């Protein structure tokens, strides 16, 4: 008996419409209940939508690029008794644009219901699969994370490919199955800057490395294992890729901020009632924007053989949180004044510490600042936040005696450590950028020039 059923998009949480980015079945396929049919994507995550009935696919009603919402018919399925039995472990997953694998916990599939049917998507974050039926919970995102659908993630996992090392050629740089295949081919021919399998040793950029030491530490004393936080896992994978793939060089310089700090203190006294604290970070953001304008190759990203020069100035800053490092981004910093920059960075830093930053608030950065000045240190080597080309590390200011020709005078001195991607930026350009930045901080009136 023919029993053709329209299979609809189920409740997809907070989203009105989402875009179809993949069709996972074709006409004539036999699908089981809870098998994924299509992948959809919002601006924050991708999600596979399953069918809750099994049968033979008679027609597909959507195509890649279509916008769908709850109730949209995805396809028609001719139900068959055998195929409509619930699959034992098919857990559809929302994938964060993150490199960590999503171990999908089996969720009991819904028993097939009369047509039209809408199955319930289940969400998996990079760490856990949450069977939170019908509620789309957005996972944490950080700049530069891999962007791929759950099926491509699964494919990559099966091949042992670290998606953070794969360049996506799909819309919005999404990683496609072909990209993973291309990466594996390149790795096998010894050309990829990555390993396709790392458990027993790694081949990075052709380097044969020893396997990571496996040691039973309990032989030496008592130990307590502590799993890395989700943010640490995500940022760690990004930092690792950036450190390995970008030839970093750090230019160290210093700025005389005696007058700037005096101005900051005065402004804070005057502004005491406003509640807005003028921070050194706000001055640094402003000065970096001016330097990026003067040296546009720093406000760019590398895309194959060409530079993408950006005409906007979105500045990220590293924020230390109880769960690890995140980089909120201040958009259009060139259009904001010092008070606004101070206010916004303070608010974003608070949101970061409270774990409330949205993925959008961590995207689109052109250049980053990592300020450890409030903590300590003299100089350090910050790791570039790819695909940016440079990052400024700021250490603790200190009073330095400087000879003025007649006597030693005290000078409040700020250490500046500029790490840059040497594939694009020459040492001389970096030295000029850092020296220019120092001159702006030494005499902030120059910003107006």
List residues near ligand CAO by CB under 6 A: 279-281, 317-320, 325, 349, 370-374, 382-383, 394, 396-397, 414
Q: Would you say 430 and 249 are in contact if contact means Cβ atoms under 8 Å apart? A: yes
- Torsions phi, psi of 129, nearest 5? -100, 120
Comparing CB distances to ligand CAO, the nearer of 51 and 238 is: 238
CB of 142 to ligand CAO, least distance (A): 12
Comparing CB distances to ligand CAO, the nearer of 157 and 232 is: 232
Q: 114, exposed or middle or buried, with CB in 10 Å at 0-12, 13-18, 19+? A: exposed
CB of 202 to ligand CAO, least distance (A): 23
E-state strands within 304-346: 306-309, 315-317, 319-321, 324-326, 329-330
- In whole angstroms, what is the distance from residue 186 CA to residue 189 CA? 5
Whats the size of the chain, residue-wise? 449
User: Other C-beta atoms within 10 Å of 80: how many?
Assistant: 14
CA of 361: how far to CAs of 54, 181, 338, 437, in Å? 41, 32, 20, 26
- Torsions phi, psi of 188, nearest 5? -65, -30
Cα atoms found within 13 Å of the Cα of residue 251, Cβ hemisphere only: 22
Comparing CB distances to ligand CAO, the nearer of 46 and 343 is: 343
Q: Would you say 55 and 42 are in contact if contact means Cβ atoms under 8 Å apart? A: no
Comparing CB distances to ligand CAO, the nearer of 18 and 325 is: 325
CB of 390 to ligand CAO, least distance (A): 13
- What phi-psi label fits residue 169: left (phi over 0), alpha (psi between -120 and 50 degrees) or beta? alpha
3-state secondary structure of 179: helix
CB of 325 to ligand CAO, least distance (A): 5
CB of 400 to ligand CAO, least distance (A): 13
Comparing CB distances to ligand CAO, the nearer of 157 and 422 is: 422
Indicate the angle between helix axes 427-442 and 258-270, nearest 10 degrees. Answer: 50
Identify whether 422 is a catalytic site residue. Answer: yes
- In whole angstroms, what is the distance from residue 308 CA to residue 242 CA? 18
Q: Would you say 222 and 389 are in contact if contact means Cβ atoms under 8 Å apart? A: no
3-state secondary structure of 343: helix
Q: Which of 240, 248, 379, 422 is catalytic?
A: 422
CB of 44 to ligand CAO, least distance (A): 24
Comparing CB distances to ligand CAO, the nearer of 15 and 380 is: 380
Q: Would you say 380 and 372 are in contact if contact means Cβ atoms under 8 Å apart? A: yes
Name the residue number minimizing CB distance to ligand CAO: 373
Comparing CB distances to ligand CAO, the nearer of 325 and 430 is: 325
Q: Using the structure block, give the residue that is written with the tokens 């559809």.
A: 92
CB of 274 to ligand CAO, least distance (A): 15
Positions marked active-site = 422
């Amino acid at each position: 008996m023919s029993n053709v059923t329209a299979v609809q998009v189920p409740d997809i949480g907070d989203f009105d419409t989402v875009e179809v980015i993949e069709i996972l079945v074709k006409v004539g396929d036999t699908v089981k209940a809870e098998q994924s049919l299509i992948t959809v994507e919002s601006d924050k995550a991708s999600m596979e939508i399953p069918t809750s009935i099994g049968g033979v696919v008679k027609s597909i009603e959507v195509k890649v690029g279509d916008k769908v919402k709850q109730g949209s018919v995805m396809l028609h399925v001719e139900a068959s008794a055998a195929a409509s039995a619930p699959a034992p472990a098919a857990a559809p997953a929302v994938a964060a644009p993150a490199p960590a694998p999503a171990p999908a916990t089996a969720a009991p599939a819904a028993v097939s219901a009369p047509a039209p049917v809408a199955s319930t998507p289940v969400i998996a974050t990079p760490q856990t699969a949450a069977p939170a039926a019908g509620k789309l919970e957005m996972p944490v995102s950080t700049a530069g994370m891999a962007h791929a659908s759950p099926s491509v993630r699964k494919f990559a996992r099966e091949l042992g490919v670290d998606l953070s090392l794969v360049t996506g050629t799909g819309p919005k740089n999404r990683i496609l199955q072909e990209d993973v295949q291309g990466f594996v081919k390149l790795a096998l021919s010894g050309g990829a800057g990555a390993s396709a399998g790392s458990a027993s040793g790694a081949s990075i950029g052709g380097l044969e490395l020893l396997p990571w030491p496996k040691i039973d530490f309990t032989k030496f004393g008592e130990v307590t294992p502590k799993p890395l936080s989700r943010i640490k896992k995500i940022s760690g994978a990004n930092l690792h890729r950036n450190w390995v793939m970008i030839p970093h060089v750090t230019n160290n310089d210093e700025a005389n901020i005696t007058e700037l700090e005096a101005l900051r203190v005065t402004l804070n006294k005057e502004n005491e009632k406003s509640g807005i604290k003028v921070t050194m970070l706000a001055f640094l953001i402003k000065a970096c924007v001016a330097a990026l304008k003067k040296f546009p190759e720093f406000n760019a990203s590398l895309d194959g053989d060409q530079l993408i020069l950006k005409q906007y100035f979105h500045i990220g800053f590293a924020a230390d949180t109880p769960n690890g490092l995140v980089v909120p981004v201040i958009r259009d910093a060139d259009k904001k004044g010092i008070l606004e920059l101070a206010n916004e960075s303070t608010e974003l830093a608070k949101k970061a510490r409270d774990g409330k930053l949205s993925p959008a608030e961590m995207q689109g950065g052109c250049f980053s600042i990592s300020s450890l000045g409030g903590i300590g240190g003299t100089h350090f080597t910050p790791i570039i936040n790819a695909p940016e080309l440079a990052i400024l590390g700021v250490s603790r200011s200190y009073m330095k005696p400087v000879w003025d020709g007649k006597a030693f005078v005290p000078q409040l001195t700020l250490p500046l450590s500029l790490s840059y991607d040497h594939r694009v930026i020459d040492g001389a350009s970096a030295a000029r950028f850092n020296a220019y930045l120092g001159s702006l901080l030494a005499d902030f009136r120059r910003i107006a020039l």
